[in-house]
Amino acid sequence: MTKLSVRHLLGIKNLNENDIQTILETATQFKEIINRPIKKVPSLRDITIANVFFENSTRTRLSFELAEKRLSADVVNFSASGSSVKKGETLLDTVNNILAMKVDMIVMRHSSPGAPHYLSSRIPANVVNAGDGTHEHPTQALLDAFSMREKIGDLTGKKIAIIGDITHSRVALSNIFCLQKLGAEVMVCGPSTLIPKYLGDLGVRIGHDVREALQWCDVANVLRIQLERQQIKYFPSLREYSLYFGINKDMLDELNKDIVLMHPGPINRGVELSSDAADSKHSIILDQVENGVAVRMAVLYLLAQQ
């Protein structure tokens, strides 16, 4: 297996196409392993990994923890809500205290964009960004690309629509970088208030009609409305958002082709996706969750070789 060109996974922007292909190919091998009766391999037996989460998480945290345990690493879980952070301890002091206990790798989620980058320049351990504010979520983009490739093959020339709250989504930016590096065409679709003005500079199409986006794309990656990050009202009501930008099964059935439906979770059923759409034959949402473990195993394994 080839090595990565980076010591840390801070964002897709820092990876080249070869890095992405290496991670996806390694993940294919790990997916085969996690579907065996005995799912563990001793690849990271002497490595200690700390999951340092300053924000709430279900899928990402469980997925990383499972990936680490499947690789036989020793795992330490840290949650800011019950820690000395509440007493005023800084991010750097918190992490240095964890590293003093001989931890080799940090998986971090933080509400401030750039927090993993700040940390990686000040500590000797490898850092994996598990989401930094509204900036990037690299492992989500990698597992999305892995899931798409598994379903529709090589992504060169494929059309991917990212639909929903683009402004507040870290998944959107990482997906755009990843998909473009793999040769796909990318479109973002949503209310104009939820699409950043600069996004056109990244070479993506911009649309505001969900039906047009669905007709154009091979894959629709639907994002939730991130109300917890919104300081002002970006649209009148969830009901109105659902009416104009929600996707239901009837809309999918009306298309003259089959498309793939994705969602990074958690789903707000009845807002961006109806239950019949989320559970339809078009949906690979649960495949994304399964693939997340294999992709994160690949990332941890490859970084540990650096």
State pLDDT tens for residues 119-166.
999 899 999 999 998 899 999 999 999 999 999 999 999 999 999 999
Q: CA–CA separation, 83 vs 290, rounded Å? A: 31
Is 224 labeled as ligand-binding? yes
Encoded tokens for 4: 């990565």
Is 167 labeled as ligand-binding? no
Encoded tokens for 177: 């970088």
Is 60 labeled as ligand-binding? yes
How many Cβ atoms from other residues are within 10 Å of residue 123's Cβ?
17
Q: Is 230 exposed, middle or buried (0-12, 13-18, 19+ CB in 10 A)?
A: middle
Encoded tokens for 20: 């992405």
Q: Give me the residue label for tokens 């991670």.
A: 23
Show the low-confidence residues of the chain (pLDDT under 70): 1, 82-87, 227-234, 236
Angle at 216 (CA atoms; ends 210, 218), nearest 5 degrees? 105
pLDDT on residue 88: 78
Write down the pTM of the prediction.
0.94
Is 233 labeled as ligand-binding? no
- CA dist 88 to 24, 93, 94, Å? 40, 10, 10
Strands 126-132, 105-110: pairing is parallel
Q: Give me the residue label for tokens 């940090």.
A: 106
Q: In the chain, at which residue ranges do the beta strands (DSSP E only) sit?
A: 48-53, 74-79, 105-110, 126-132, 159-163, 185-189, 205-207, 219-222, 260-262
Sequence ranges of the chain with CATH classification 3.40.50.1370: 8-137+289-305, 138-286
Is 170 labeled as ligand-binding? yes
Encoded tokens for 66: 């499972």
Q: Give me the residue label for tokens 């989620």.
A: 109
pLDDT on residue 228: 56
Q: Check: CATH 3.30.565.10 for 8-137+289-305?
A: no
Is 26 labeled as ligand-binding? no
CATH superfamily, domain at 138-286: Aspartate/ornithine carbamoyltransferase (3.40.50.1370)
pLDDT on residue 141: 98
Q: Are 241 and 222 in contact (CB under 8 A)?
A: no
pLDDT on residue 86: 65
Is 229 labeled as ligand-binding? no
Is 266 labeled as ligand-binding? yes
pLDDT on residue 151: 97
| Segment 233-244, tens digit of pLDDT | 667 688 888 899
Is 87 labeled as ligand-binding? yes
Residues 6 or more apart in contact with residue 164 via CB below 8 angstroms = 189, 190, 194, 222, 223, 224, 225, 245, 272
Is 265 labeled as ligand-binding? yes
pLDDT on residue 57: 84
Q: Give me the residue label for tokens 């994002």.
A: 223
